[in-house]
Amino acid sequence: MAVVKARESDIDLLARLLRAEAEGEGIQGMLHVGAVGVNRIRANCSDFVGIRTVPQMIYQPHAFEAVIHGYFYQRARESERRLARRAIRGERQWPAKYSLWYFRPEGDCPAQWYGQPLVARYKSHCFYEPTGEECPNIYSTF
């Protein structure tokens, strides 16, 4: 069962994002990106107040490098669509389980990203999650 509403066009959009943002990180890396996206839709806090749909999440200004810099043009493949569906169903694993942000630094992961604590690094991406007081929805179960 989906934890956020998604039509097939939303699945395709999310699949394109997974590919553009984390294809080089493999299946697990793309699932982490999907989890962060779904977390942003569910959170309704911090930078994501009012973000309620997959398109709003993906096209939020300054949200994803792949969208900003044009890497988001590739079609979704069935393998990425399957991963997008898993994310929409709420599959999320550490370090993205409660994360709302990630980025790919050239060096080490900073201990904080805009005041949010580092969870961990997965391959090239560093993941950050909010505090429970700031974003309690992110810590709720489905």
Domain residue spans in the chain?
A: 8-139
Rounded distance, CA 64 to CA 116, Å?
Answer: 17
Where is 4: in which H helix or E strand?
none
pLDDT digits (tens, 9 = 90+) for 101-121: 999 999 999 999 888 999 999
Cα dihedral across residues 59, 78, 101, 24: positive or negative: negative
In the sheet that holds 116-122, the strands lie side by side as 101-103, 125-128, 116-122, 112-113
Rounded distance, CA 32 to CA 84, Å?
Answer: 10
CATH number (1.10.10.2520, 3.40.1180.10, 3.40.640.10, 1.20.210.10) of 8-139 reads: 1.10.10.2520
Strand-pairing partners, residue 101, are 128
DSSP label at 76? Answer: P
Residue 142: what pLDDT? Answer: 61
pLDDT digits (tens, 9 = 90+) for 26-70: 999 999 999 999 999 999 999 999 999 999 999 999 888 888 877
